[in-house]
Amino acid sequence: MPLDDVKTLAERILRLENKFRRIEERKGKPKPEVFDNSAIRNRKIIDDLLDFNYVHGNLSGLDADDHSQYLNTTRHDVTSRHTLGTVVPHDDHGSLSGLTDDDHTQYTKHPASSTDNAIVRWDGTGGRTLQNSSVAIDDNGKLSGDGLDGWIYDTDTWSYVSTTSFKVSGKDVRYKFPKGTKIKLVQSGSTKYFYVVATDYSTDTTITITGGSDYSLANATISGQAYSYAENPQNYPFSTVAIRVQKSTNQSIPNATWTALSFDAIKTEEKPATTSQWSSGSPTRLICRLPGYYLVNAHVRFAANATGARGINLMKNGAGLTTTMIAAFSGVDAIIQCSVIVKLDTGDYVESYCYQNSGGALDAVSTSNNLYLEWIRLGI
């Protein structure tokens, strides 16, 4: 039933009830039951009335959204309802007018991703931004990562000065580079190793280094710069420098003539980097590839002969360092050793000479590895 018809019916019933009441009041008779269950028998009328109460828009002259003072789905995200600005998508804080995704400066910011178990680091000096790390702690408390390789990676810029020096501009950082500090850097994709021999400061800090025979600076960009005070940082080639060369056959030594011992094989070697400290082209020499102090030892065994004296010495670049002499004696081979500590620079060489004056040639005997020359680098 249309709403207007229902209203008309209700109005008629009300007028009829009022008319009956006035009549009865005038006659002094009891008031009849005008509007009870028997007054309206048509259940359809009541059902229609109830149906129209469910839907606000079914009221005459109204619709389902005529209270504009209230928010609904349509009106919620419009500028007239949000004075901050544009439509408000609730999943993006940065879309609010006057705000950004990073306007809460009291909170720290995290990176987009991280490595599992990585140690968190600050990014910059602002005290807000966190960054990932290559150092990790596993569930058993064990540390791992490149940061544990013994090198300190420098944030200062290193610039080429010469083949044996670089500089840090505009600051005094001599304290970082005491003599002996180990150096690692990369030029043109190649990793190079050095150690510090001196530092100087005047506007810039200049660090003088040596890489021995294997490494020198190029006039090129320096990257991956690092230094270390550790004894053996990862991959550092200069930690142990030592060699022993020997002769596998006897060598005849002329009478009364100092004669250089000539060797034919490397028994053992810990070389500074890639270049050996001995070569068959210069079989009498050990050649310094990395500057420093060396303990040098030479050993010779002479065939038995009771006449004269026997001797051995050590020479640096052709100049004598030290000598050992003994008197010959009968019945046994004479075995002599000679040692010295000497400071060497790259390219310096050491040789061992021996002597006998038995009256004729006499063999230096290689039996039981008794004919050798060796050294070990002690440090800088």
Instruction: Give pLDDT tens digits along the chain (380 positions).
Output: 555 555 566 677 777 777 777 766 665 555 555 445 544 555 555 555 555 555 555 556 666 666 666 666 665 655 555 555 555 555 555 665 666 666 666 677 777 788 888 778 888 877 778 888 767 787 877 666 666 789 999 999 999 999 999 999 999 999 999 998 999 999 999 999 999 999 999 999 999 999 888 899 999 999 999 999 998 899 998 888 999 999 999 999 999 999 999 999 999 999 877 789 999 999 999 999 988 999 999 999 999 999 999 999 999 999 999 999 999 989 899 999 999 999 999 899 999 999 999 999 999 999 888 999 999 999 88
Q: Which residues contact 59 (CB under 8 A, 6 or more apart)?
A: 3, 52
Which has the closest alpha carbon to 318: 372, 243, 260?
Answer: 260
DSSP designation for 188: T
Residue 186 carries which side chain, given as an amino acid letter? Answer: V
Q: CA Rg, the chain, in Å?
A: 51
Bridge-based pairing state of the strands 190-202 and 204-210:
antiparallel
Which has the closest alpha carbon to 261: 295, 302, 293?
Answer: 302
Q: Which residues contact 23 (CB under 8 A, 6 or more apart)?
A: none
Which has the closest alpha carbon to 194: 219, 214, 175, 178?
Answer: 214
Q: How many CA atoms within 13 Å lie on the side-chain side of 130?
A: 14
Q: Give the tokens for residue 216.
A: 């020198």
- Report the b/e string of 347-357 with b at 16+ CB within 10 A: ebbbbbbbbbb
| Residues 291 and 274 sit within 8 Å (Cβ to Cβ) | no
Say how far apart CA 39 and CA 42 lie, in whole Å: 9
Say how far apart CA 228 and CA 193 lie, in whole Å: 11
CA 200 and chain centroid, separation:
29
Confidence at residue 320, expressed as pLDDT on a 0 to 100 scale: 96
Residue 32: how many other CB atoms lie within 10 Å: 11
Rounded to 5°, angle at Cα 305 from 304 and 311? 90
Q: In the chain, where are the structural domains located? A: 3-58, 152-228, 242-379
Instruction: Name the 3-class secondary structure at 57.
Output: helix
Q: Give the tokens for residue 209.
A: 């280094």
Confidence at residue 231, expressed as pLDDT on a 0 to 100 scale: 85
DSSP designation for 24: H
The residues that bridge with 326 in the sheet, in sequence order, are 310
User: Looking at the domain that runs over 242-379, which CATH code has it been given?
Assistant: 2.60.120.40
Return the CATH number of 152-228, one of 2.40.30, 3.30.70, 3.40.50, 1.10.10: 2.40.30
Note the pTM of the prediction, 2 decimals. 0.60
| Residues 32 and 20 sit within 8 Å (Cβ to Cβ) | yes
Confidence at residue 123, expressed as pLDDT on a 0 to 100 scale: 80
Say how far apart CA 211 and CA 216 lie, in whole Å: 6
Confidence at residue 39, expressed as pLDDT on a 0 to 100 scale: 47
